[in-house]
Structure 1
């Protein structure tokens, strides 16, 4: 769940850095992918709930400190909060890149030794990471299979905590309730296939272009058509104007904002609002699935908070603009009902 969520702040930062009424095709691609990452997050929550776990998106460390490492990329790349650009899209492609390890024994490879947040590292072998996101999910499926073979009570979770398709739907697929090993396999395989196209090529089982190839369209400047090879889309041109973007500061931190300034207050308010979003998701995944639609609505309600930052220059940064920092207040980490620094609770969020 932490891995799936970690892609959302970078995608939203790139999306909201695009000037209004420009790059509509690129903005649409990023927005749809962000919504589908919410689907992946929900599927992962369903698997966790199915085996008796307790999803908690408000726990300390759930939101990574950017730059953060993800489990793919031979050159030890980091994921950053940065404006929409060819460089950012290249990072998105690295995140979603379909890569299968040469063998089962090479699924784990050394993790970069340079500090910072790192997701999807091995829980049993220090200093090792998974070869790719697809291999990470393959390892989870293999682990569930091994435990289920000796423990028939593995899937002991309360079915009432499952989020079903009636609570969340996106054009890229529906939620899969998880009650046994077969449905867990299907949910986790769907995540890997939709993101990377790992087993099904360019398209997932529903005929939707995998995330990696959607981002490749932006790099290559052309849409894919059915029958195209991976690096040779032959569809209509996809025009991008890379200059129609606010030059937001990469990986901005609260410490970058002048103390007491309106921008500092806006950045803190954004972080509090994002905490509300995570608190809503936590409630949705803990027996109140109807709140999931409210949470998705709330995610895009953050647009105004985003624009208050990205449209304004950041003093002392050589012309760079402000940006959200995604540093969630500790109040959210200790009490998921806290919604804003003024002491309101998540109950205040419209239903």
Structure 2
């Protein structure tokens, strides 16, 4: 039991919005690291990052399904949705920041913190939530007064609090002869609408399916209850896939966490373009092709978030376009990261993920309108 509990439906909806923010906040760093890798090297790292990006999209969609199931409205165009990097994760893990940077040892160290298992360091064991006094604008859930200074140690701990809130609120509703799962079932994203080879997507219609969906997210990220694998597909969890790259060795059946004993894998830590971390458009000279490319990418990314919002709000077939579009960003990202950044010797450009205000406009209806 956690020292903080969700006790109202509005709080649960806000937590689930933050869960969508959290899942999305990992995609730009992972996607940028993936495309920063130079051709012909780090094939293992490329495969790991590609698979994990697809699974993060799955987790984003699962969070949207749960929010829809309780009558919420997923909105990826809210002004507070997209992170401004470097950023703390939306669940309040303020002991590290997530950056847009090239594939490197430093990037992998951050990725391990993002996916870290819920078991906290020894000096924090048994203390429930980590609560830190920080300004309201840096808290995880500052839009509710009761959430100020609320921080979780891991993504798994954050989702466990959501699961506990669902159980509590549904039990309360059941005693009154009702349910919190009143959402329009036609908004649920089901397997036929999701392009993915990892994880099973299923509709969320009651507390049981909601808890199963949360368990899938936790297991794919950090493993199943201390195991290195998830419980669904028996695939290696994200944390341990990243750890394989850091340790230069594969896990194999029977291995304990932190001790892979499989074949060695090669990682070329110099095999990525030297992009400027957390680049902003304002740092790129006006009138340059690089600035035009960065601005164009941001507009397209904003359209991508619009597309997802429409998919999660009654047009699920649009999600069939989402993952392919995400990987078609590759060409524009490569245009940025393979070219020198003016006035910054030895550094290349990078996508900035600064979503323009135009994200509130109507979303495109055809794939060609998004990627053209």
User: Shared fold by TM > 0.5?
Assistant: yes
Structure 1: distance between partners of 2:61 and 2:205? 14
Map of 2:353 onto structure 1 = 326
> Aligned-pair distance for 1:335?
2.0
Corresponding residue SS for 2:193:
coil
> Aligned-pair distance for 1:125?
3.2
Map of 1:9 onto structure 2 = 28
Map of 1:170 onto structure 2 = 196
Map of 1:52 onto structure 2 = 71
Contact 1:313 1:321 in 2 (8 A): yes
Map of 2:186 onto structure 1 = 160
CA distance 1:121–1:23, change in 2 (3 Å): farther
Contact 2:92 2:139 in 1 (8 A): no
Contact 1:222 1:234 in 2 (8 A): yes
Contact 2:325 2:367 in 1 (8 A): no
Structure 2: distance between partners of 1:76 and 1:263? 33
> Aligned-pair distance for 1:167?
1.3
Contact 2:193 2:316 in 1 (8 A): yes
Q: Map 1:238-249 to 2 at 5 A.
A: 238-249=265-276
Q: Deviations over 1:17-75 (max 9, x none)?
A: 000121111111001000000000010000000001111111112111111112476x8
Map of 1:276 onto structure 2 = 303
Q: 1:292 aligns with which of 308, 311, 319?
A: 319
Map of 2:257 onto structure 1 = 230
Contact 1:277 1:295 in 2 (8 A): yes
Q: 2:84 aligns with which of 65, 73, 79?
A: 65
Q: Map 1:259-274 to 2 at 5 A.
A: 259-274=286-301
Map of 1:197 onto structure 2 = 223
Contact 1:111 1:121 in 2 (8 A): no
Structure 1: distance between partners of 2:286 and 2:136? 28
Structure 2: distance between partners of 1:192 and 1:236? 27
> Aligned-pair distance for 1:110?
2.4
Q: 1:19 aligns with which of 38, 53, 70?
A: 38
> Aligned-pair distance for 1:107?
3.2
Q: CA RMSD in A?
A: 2.3
Q: 1:143 aligns with which of 159, 162, 165?
A: 165
Map of 2:154 onto structure 1 = 132
Contact 1:195 1:211 in 2 (8 A): yes
Structure 2: distance between partners of 1:115 and 1:279? 28
> Aligned-pair distance for 1:349?
4.0
Which stretch shows the higher mean deviation, 264-273 or 119-128? 119-128
Contact 1:76 1:112 in 2 (8 A): no
Structure 1: distance between partners of 2:312 and 2:200? 16
Q: 1:110 aligns with which of 124, 131, 144?
A: 131
Structure 2: distance between partners of 1:19 and 1:112? 42
Map of 1:221 onto structure 2 = 248
> Aligned-pair distance for 1:295?
1.0
> Aligned-pair distance for 1:118?
5.4
Structure 2: distance between partners of 1:34 and 1:119? 23
Q: Which runs of 5+ in 2 are unaligned?
A: 1-19
Structure 2: distance between partners of 1:40 and 1:173? 9
- Bigger proportion of residues as helix: 2
Structure 2: distance between partners of 1:163 and 1:286? 10
Contact 2:69 2:182 in 1 (8 A): yes
Number of corresponding residues: 343
